[in-house]
Structure 1
Amino acid sequence: MATATDERYLASAQPFGRWLLAQVAREDAIGDLARSAKADSRFPRDGDFEAISRRLNELQAESEMHLALEDAEGAWLSS
């Protein structure tokens, strides 16, 4: 008998970092963040919110980039 936790029914979620990189065509702050991330050779492509936030801190990114990251996480979670 299949259960709700049966792997056949669990979606394989795209890593947040890869989802963000795919947002380069957006014309908003998330798109700006995605374009900056794409240009960063050390961007954590398979990273989660925390890994990307740490990278922004390493780069001393402006507060707008951190706000865009929060917006991006919300969009990713709702997709």
Structure 2
Amino acid sequence: MTETSNPASYLAKRETYGKWLLAQRDRGDWVNDLANAARADRTFPKEGDPEAVRAHLRKQQADSYVFQAVDDAEADWQSLR
């Protein structure tokens, strides 16, 4: 079976949410702003899933609009599955 026909192997190689978010640039939306802030944060969970990012942002006492950006970014990231 080739890797492209094996969903488990595809998901195993899939980029983490944190890494995907860090790579978002020049989008012109608030996900772009979130990504800029994440790149500036040395403790950002780049290997994390969306919940790890939310937990990190709660510790940082982020505003509610930041969590809306996380939700939007997660929807985009999930659409790549």
Q: TM-score, normalised by structure 2?
A: 0.85
Tell me if 1:53 matches 2:38. no
Could you tell me which amino acid in structure 2 is paired with residue 27 of structure 1?
G
The separation in 1 between residues aligned to 2:41 and 2:63, in whole angstroms, is 15
Highest CA radius of gyration, 1 or 2? 1
Give 1:63 shift. Answer: 0.5
Could you tell me which amino acid in structure 1 is paired with residue 50 of structure 2?
F
The separation in 2 between residues aligned to 1:16 and 1:39, in whole angstroms, is 17
Could you tell me which amino acid in structure 2 is paired with residue 74 of structure 1?
A
Equivalent in the alignment of 2:24? 23
The separation in 2 between residues aligned to 1:48 and 1:34, in whole angstroms, is 14
Could you tell me which amino acid in structure 1 is paired with residue 28 of structure 2?
E
Tell me if 1:75 matches 2:73. no
CA RMSD of aligned residues (A): 1.3
The separation in 2 between residues aligned to 1:29 and 1:62, in whole angstroms, is 13
Aligned length, in residue pairs:
74
Give 1:27 shift. Answer: 1.1
The separation in 1 between residues aligned to 2:39 and 2:69, in whole angstroms, is 15
The separation in 2 between residues aligned to 1:64 and 1:19, in whole angstroms, is 20
